[in-house]
Structure 1
Amino acid sequence: MRPPSPPLLILFLLVFPTIIYSATESPASSPSPHSPSPSSPSPSSSPSSPSPSSSPSSPSSSSSSLDPKQLRALQSLNIPISKDPCSRNATLCDSSKPFRHIVSLRLSNCSSYVALSYTALKSLSTLQSLQLLNCPVTPIRFPPELIASLRSFSCVRSLRKVSGVWLSRLENLTDLTVSDVQVKASGPYVILGHMNKLKSLTISRANLTGNLPKYIDSNLTHVDFSVNQLKGSIPTSITMLDGLEHLNLSSNELHGEIPPAIGNLISLKSLSLASNSLSGPIPGSVSAIPGLTHMDLSSNQLNGTIPKFISHMKNLKYLNLANNNLRGVMPFNSTFIKGLTVLKLSGNSNLCYNHSVLSSKLKLGIAPCDKYGMPMSPPPSKESSADDSSDYDDSDEDDNSNKKEHHHGPNKVVLGVAIALSSIVFLIIFLILCSKCCR
């Protein structure tokens, strides 16, 4: 058989490694099955629609129509209504006969024509829940019949200023939400003085002044006074709410120490005291709260060491102690840190971690300790550490770095093997040609 010509041989030797290299590179171009997908935006929080105590029914469950008086009342308020107002999502009705009655009403994004009327509200005295969302209407005095019936009142970016006295008249409420509304009152007690049935209380971003009340009704499970101008210390009455699940006093002007009896809040799940002027140590009693999942004590003047018992809180997922005056060795081990979703410690210049126990890859926002328990080097600035967030994110970073090494390493090895095989083939063909030429 005639041996292949040299040009064909050279062409084969040039193409063969290229084919092998392309085959090794093609899998790398395909997306990794573990590549993260864009996270979907979290839904914006909005006030929940409370469930009336009397179970409303859908239009199909009752053939009776709405009470004519209430229908006229809705019309007088200039509220757009359909043929059957009870079929609207913003209106819930009971199933009474011969006429149904409205038990829950939500007015949202009101036009300039909507205006409250004492007569209309008197006709709507069966209301148990009233929500005003983006309705900058002028507040009026509620009829006694409506005050007696109302159990839930929400006012978000609505009403052109309200007074504490006006709110205090709603004394049968179990749920009160006032947010992004200017409230004129000398303190929360003016509002809460006669509300002994409240379970959920939110007065946020309301420019509320004064001190926290020294007496708070024990039925409360939710308290939110965030983003106001409240002063003074945290009263011990707060620590007596053994049914309290959520406490948010952040972004006020509170000072003094966190009450040592804070651990008595055994039902607490979320605690936020951030952005105040609180001082003193972190009470060790917080570790006695079994179900606490969220604790934010950042941006205060807390000092002393971090209680080591916090690392025994198995349900804790969010811990923010940044921007305080904490010192000493951070007592958390890697097992506790990996169980957290967020850990922020930056902005504590005298706080450090044991580098023989914890890896520097954890990005804790604080410096490692020397043999005297002091920071070995200046910690990151608050600005740069704020960008890092000092969140525990080491696992994802390690996974990504491992993927990158795994992604590029095998391609180089396979390429080397391909070149070696090409050289061997070239050598064999060369020897064959030489042996035939020598004959």
Structure 2
Amino acid sequence: MTTMSESRMRLHFLSLVLLCCVSPSSSFTFKYDYSSFVACGPHQSQALTEFMNEFDSSHCNLSDPFNGVWCDNSTGAVTKLRLSDCLSGTLKPNSSLFRLHHLRFLVLIDNNFISSSLPSEFGSLNRLEVLNLSNNSFVSHVPSSFNNLSFLLLFDLSHNELTGSFPLVRNLTKLSLLKISNNHLSGALNPSCSLFELPHLRYLDLEYNNFSSSFSSEFGNLNRLEVLSLSSNDFFGQVPPTVSNLTSLTELYLHHDQLTGSFPRLQNLTMLSVLHLNDNHFSGTIPSSLVNMPFLSDLDLRVNDFTGSIGFPNSSTPSRLEYLYLGQNHFEGKIIEPISKLTNLKILELAFLNTSYPIDISFSSSLKSLMHLDLSGNSISSDSLGSKSVIPTNLEILLLPGCGIIELPNILKKLEKLEFIDFSDNRIKGKIPEWLWNLPRLTSVFVPNNSITGFKGPMDVLVNSSLKNLDIEKNCFEGAIPILPLSINFFEASYNRFTGSIPLSICNYRSLTLLKLSNNNLTGPIPQCLSNLTAVSLRKNNLEGNIPEAFYTGASLQTLDVGHNLLTGKLPRSLLNCSSLELLVVDHNRIKDTFPFWLKALPNLQVLILSSNKFYGSISPPGRGPLGFPELRIFEISDNKFTGSLPTSYFVNWKATSLTMNEDGGLYMEYIKFTSSRLYYNSLEVIDLQYKGLRMEQERVLTSYAAIDISGNRIEGQIPESIGLLKALIAFNFSNNFFTGHIPLSLANLKKLESLDLSRNQLSGTIPSGLGTLSFLAYINVSHNHLKGEIPQGTQITGQPKSSFEGNAGLCGLPLQETCFGTIAPPTRQPSEEDEEVLNWKGVAIGYGVGVLFGLAIMQVIASYKPEWLVKIIGPNKRRN
């Protein structure tokens, strides 16, 4: 290769063995024969150089021995190319890549192909035997031209954003491995699907897509399969008996689907080592022969409707099961005795078994290899937790939440390998014994929601422990915050009775990432040193002073909640350094400042709550355009002294305009994900929300929750019609202000709205009839305005109390006693589909300058109707030359 090319890519590789796997592991190995490299021909070198120049390749890790290029011994043509985590840019159809017609091996993984569809030109590389394009953010569908790659042995499109139906692969008859998992493919896999015409297929992974069909009996045709994953789709119905044809299967993943019926017929699958059927609707009993399958080591049957018991292992051929998950079924008989015979178990999960008898934990004493035991949600026999009881000494993780336990069992003293314990939601009283902290490997202790009053021993009893994660939330701890070990990473102590100030020793905890001390009786200032944290919650204490500037010197902070304290001063401008900030809550303090328009520079801010402070001035940005804050979903600034009016375009370009925000289950504010060993612990912020006329403390921000509350200020003028763009809005409160004009017609577009409060303003006109069509509207209050006419009739409105409409002298109709005497109320037209299209267009037009020009052209077509509020945003029509 030329010197110039050598500067861009490394021409030295080890021979490769490409191992493709599905979670948790795979025995499937794909081997490929690699010849030694030689110098590449000049034309090929030029094509490669041009290809690299099409992208930003400054992040290429060319020290990785697997990145680079191989060329053919005799011709010098490029035959193998691998670039991982190298390229950033758009892969275009005219890319120089598609001039490398001799490629047999092409691996482009973990790149950043921005807004790139899969080019159909890949189909011209018809000598390819290995094609791996995984984890590149490719969008759109899979072109039919890929069906031209008839020599393909391995084809991987996993972890992209691909849509459409199952790709055409009929001509890929040599294919041995096919992975298209973690995309958005949909539709049915019917008997005519080209998938079932691949006779050599050994590895098939379709998991995490949107396929929806019955489990086709045609899968039985793929009788060379060794690994099959159809999990996390919408496959439904029974598993057909033809699955028993797949006698080479070693791993079968059918979890997180909608499968029903009895246990599948798997008796012929004697090579099976991994079987995951969890999170379906299987019922009936588990075959007694299952645990005697000769190679089965990983069995997951959780969250189904299985009853009965499991079979006893055959004494002549002991079970090889190492991982067994049976929780959340409906076992009626005793299943503990046969499980105690599975002596090779390493992980055992029996959570929420719904059995009618307490479990004697000593059954596990025979499981000498057991490292992970989960008995969550079961009743545990108190006798089995005594000091004379025996449980496996190899235990590393012990999960006993919700088991009715009244004290930390002494048997823990013997578990010197113990790393993680969870005794949450029990009835433990008194103090945590001192011996617990002497366990040499203990890193994580979770005991929330008990009645524990403190720690036995001196104040520094924890200092020399190996503790990294401690959760003592919702107990009865008193006195000062304990002195923690320097290794602490996660400390959750909310909802206790701690007093005094936050100790300055906390500044020494360099590993601390999450600190939650809310709902205690702490006083004094916030320490100046908490700069490297991911989440801080100090709400509902009696903390004083300013929010310190030095608090926010790093970019890792995601959650900051200091609401309900006695804080004064201004919001620290150093918050601009917190580029990862998602939630900022400072409500119910004494902060005196203007509205923080500067926070819109934070790209991830989703929740902003400033309520009940001394904020003042206008909340309209300079230039009176849209507010900004594109990711904002919860916006509460109630009970301050904000003034001024809102421009019509105020709510344009908010993230809450996205209809897709709710389609996948909605906004679930999961702010902190903490990982310890093999487990995840989710900490979701507590927020006070004004909802349906009541202020409620939400321990978890509601699914699909998007809310705006600017009540209790001095804001005047009209309510912006652009509010109708916020399609995901659940709660909307503009009460106790000085708003005038009409209630926006566009409110009828908020199909998910549940709570609407416009009371105590100076609104006039009629109530839009479109509000009567909002099927989720459970609370409405328009009292104490100047409204007139008939109250729209609809189930959601007529069911409201009279107080929701009183104080409007001109209103009549139910639920008020005043009748309309048969007169025709002024018309209250609801927005048409045309209006909605204009609203949707406007959201784009304001956000993008080019969209304005396009929108003006559209307006020429729909000039028959142009609402007054839209004219105010974009101006009258102008003729283009």
> Which of the five TM-score ranges fits, normalised by the shorter chain?
0.5 to 0.7
Assess, with a 3 A threshold, how the Cα gap between structure 1 residues 356 and 278 changes in structure 2: closer, same or farther: closer
CA contact 1:70–1:124 (8 Å) conserved in 2: yes
Assess, with a 3 A threshold, how the Cα gap between structure 1 residues 106 and 222 changes in structure 2: closer, same or farther: same
Gaps of 5+ in 1: 1-42, 369-373, 389-393, 407-439
Matched, 1:103 2:109: no
- One-letter amino acid of the counterpart of residue 230, structure 2: L
CA contact 1:201–1:224 (8 Å) conserved in 2: yes
Once the 2 structures are TM-superposed, how far is the Cα of residue 119 of structure 1 from its aligned partner?
Answer: 6.2
CA contact 2:120–2:146 (8 Å) conserved in 1: no
Gaps of 5+ in 2: 1-22, 361-373, 379-388, 396-410, 417-881
Once the 2 structures are TM-superposed, how far is the Cα of residue 351 of structure 1 from its aligned partner?
Answer: 4.3
Partner of 1:305: 285
- One-letter amino acid of the counterpart of residue 100, structure 1: G
Once the 2 structures are TM-superposed, how far is the Cα of residue 376 of structure 1 from its aligned partner?
Answer: 3.0
Once the 2 structures are TM-superposed, how far is the Cα of residue 88 of structure 1 from its aligned partner?
Answer: 6.5
- Separation in structure 2 between the aligned mates of residue 351 and residue 318 of structure 1, nearest angstrom: 23
Assess, with a 3 A threshold, how the Cα gap between structure 1 residues 78 and 386 changes in structure 2: closer, same or farther: farther
Partner of 1:208: 185
Once the 2 structures are TM-superposed, how far is the Cα of residue 302 of structure 1 from its aligned partner?
Answer: 0.1
Partner of 2:120: 141
CA contact 2:251–2:274 (8 Å) conserved in 1: yes
Percent of aligned pairs with the same amino acid:
23
Equivalence map 1:262-277=2 (5 Å):
262-277=243-258
Q: Secondary structure at the match of 1:164?
A: coil
Compare CA radii of gyration and give the structure with the larger one. 1
Once the 2 structures are TM-superposed, how far is the Cα of residue 101 of structure 1 from its aligned partner?
Answer: 2.0
Q: Which has the higher helix share?
A: 1
CA contact 2:123–2:147 (8 Å) conserved in 1: no
Partner of 2:139: 161
- Separation in structure 2 between the aligned mates of residue 364 and residue 331 of structure 1, nearest angstrom: 17
Q: Secondary structure at the match of 1:292?
A: coil
- One-letter amino acid of the counterpart of residue 289, structure 2: F
Partner of 2:229: 248
Assess, with a 3 A threshold, how the Cα gap between structure 1 residues 378 and 302 changes in structure 2: closer, same or farther: farther
Q: Which moved more, 1:170-179 or 1:356-365?
A: 356-365
Pick aligned residue for 2:392 from 383, 389, 397: 397
- One-letter amino acid of the counterpart of residue 45, structure 2: L
- Separation in structure 1 between the aligned mates of residue 390 and residue 314 of structure 2, nearest angstrom: 11
| Residues 228-273 of structure 1: per-residue CA shift (max 9 Å, x gap) | 1111111111112211000000111111001122221110000010
Assess, with a 3 A threshold, how the Cα gap between structure 1 residues 195 and 213 changes in structure 2: closer, same or farther: farther
Partner of 2:860: none
CA contact 2:276–2:299 (8 Å) conserved in 1: yes
- Separation in structure 2 between the aligned mates of residue 117 and residue 184 of structure 1, nearest angstrom: 19
- One-letter amino acid of the counterpart of residue 180, structure 2: I
Matched, 1:125 2:125: no
Assess, with a 3 A threshold, how the Cα gap between structure 1 residues 385 and 167 changes in structure 2: closer, same or farther: farther
Once the 2 structures are TM-superposed, how far is the Cα of residue 94 of structure 1 from its aligned partner?
Answer: 3.9
- Separation in structure 2 between the aligned mates of residue 113 and residue 151 of structure 1, nearest angstrom: 26
- Separation in structure 2 between the aligned mates of residue 312 and residue 168 of structure 1, nearest angstrom: 43
Equivalence map 1:335-414=2 (5 Å):
339-354=320-335, 359=340, 365=350, 375-377=355-357, 385=375, 397-398=392-393, 404=414
- One-letter amino acid of the counterpart of residue 350, structure 2: G
Once the 2 structures are TM-superposed, how far is the Cα of residue 404 of structure 1 from its aligned partner?
Answer: 3.5
Equivalence map 1:166-205=2 (5 Å):
166=144, 168-172=146-150, 173-185=152-164, 187-188=165-166, 190-205=167-182
Pick aligned residue for 1:77 from 44, 48, 51: 51
Assess, with a 3 A threshold, how the Cα gap between structure 1 residues 378 and 207 changes in structure 2: closer, same or farther: farther
CA contact 1:91–1:102 (8 Å) conserved in 2: no
Assess, with a 3 A threshold, how the Cα gap between structure 1 residues 116 and 109 changes in structure 2: closer, same or farther: farther
| Residues 180-216 of structure 1: per-residue CA shift (max 9 Å, x gap) | 212222x21x432333221111111111101124251
CA contact 1:281–1:304 (8 Å) conserved in 2: yes
- One-letter amino acid of the counterpart of residue 414, structure 2: K
CA contact 1:352–1:367 (8 Å) conserved in 2: no
CA contact 1:367–1:378 (8 Å) conserved in 2: no
| Residues 25-80 of structure 1: per-residue CA shift (max 9 Å, x gap) | xxxxxxxxxxxxxxxxxx9999x997655x4204xxx5xx2111111101111356
Give me the TM-score of the superposition, normalised by structure 2. 0.34
Assess, with a 3 A threshold, how the Cα gap between structure 1 residues 103 and 319 changes in structure 2: closer, same or farther: same
Assess, with a 3 A threshold, how the Cα gap between structure 1 residues 379 and 286 changes in structure 2: closer, same or farther: farther
- Separation in structure 1 between the aligned mates of residue 84 and residue 375 of structure 2, nearest angstrom: 41
| Residues 352-401 of structure 1: per-residue CA shift (max 9 Å, x gap) | 43556665999662799xxxxx9433899xxx75799xxxxx99825677
Q: Secondary structure at the match of 1:78?
A: helix
Q: Secondary structure at the match of 2:96?
A: helix
Once the 2 structures are TM-superposed, how far is the Cα of residue 132 of structure 1 from its aligned partner?
Answer: 1.6
Q: Which moved more, 1:288-297 or 1:148-157?
A: 148-157
Assess, with a 3 A threshold, how the Cα gap between structure 1 residues 261 and 269 changes in structure 2: closer, same or farther: same
- Separation in structure 2 between the aligned mates of residue 364 and residue 237 of structure 1, nearest angstrom: 34
Pick aligned residue for 1:66 from 24, 36, 40: 40
Q: Secondary structure at the match of 2:136?
A: coil
CA contact 1:305–1:328 (8 Å) conserved in 2: yes
Assess, with a 3 A threshold, how the Cα gap between structure 1 residues 398 and 115 changes in structure 2: closer, same or farther: closer
- Separation in structure 2 between the aligned mates of residue 220 and residue 341 of structure 1, nearest angstrom: 28
- Separation in structure 2 between the aligned mates of residue 379 and residue 182 of structure 1, nearest angstrom: 46
- Separation in structure 1 between the aligned mates of residue 262 and residue 227 of structure 2, nearest angstrom: 22
- Separation in structure 2 between the aligned mates of residue 49 and residue 130 of structure 1, nearest angstrom: 18
Highest relative contact order (Cα 8 Å, sep 6+), 1 or 2?
1
Assess, with a 3 A threshold, how the Cα gap between structure 1 residues 294 and 78 changes in structure 2: closer, same or farther: same
Q: Secondary structure at the match of 2:121?
A: coil
CA contact 2:249–2:272 (8 Å) conserved in 1: yes
Assess, with a 3 A threshold, how the Cα gap between structure 1 residues 311 and 149 changes in structure 2: closer, same or farther: same
Assess, with a 3 A threshold, how the Cα gap between structure 1 residues 168 and 396 changes in structure 2: closer, same or farther: farther
- One-letter amino acid of the counterpart of residue 175, structure 2: L
Q: Secondary structure at the match of 1:253?
A: coil
Once the 2 structures are TM-superposed, how far is the Cα of residue 100 of structure 1 from its aligned partner?
Answer: 1.8
How large is the RMSD of aligned CA atoms in angstroms?
Answer: 4.0
Q: Which moved more, 1:116-125 or 1:173-182?
A: 116-125
Assess, with a 3 A threshold, how the Cα gap between structure 1 residues 359 and 248 changes in structure 2: closer, same or farther: closer
Assess, with a 3 A threshold, how the Cα gap between structure 1 residues 334 and 140 changes in structure 2: closer, same or farther: same
Once the 2 structures are TM-superposed, how far is the Cα of residue 274 of structure 1 from its aligned partner?
Answer: 0.3
Q: Secondary structure at the match of 2:311?
A: coil
Say how many residue pairs are matched. 336
Q: Secondary structure at the match of 1:100?
A: coil
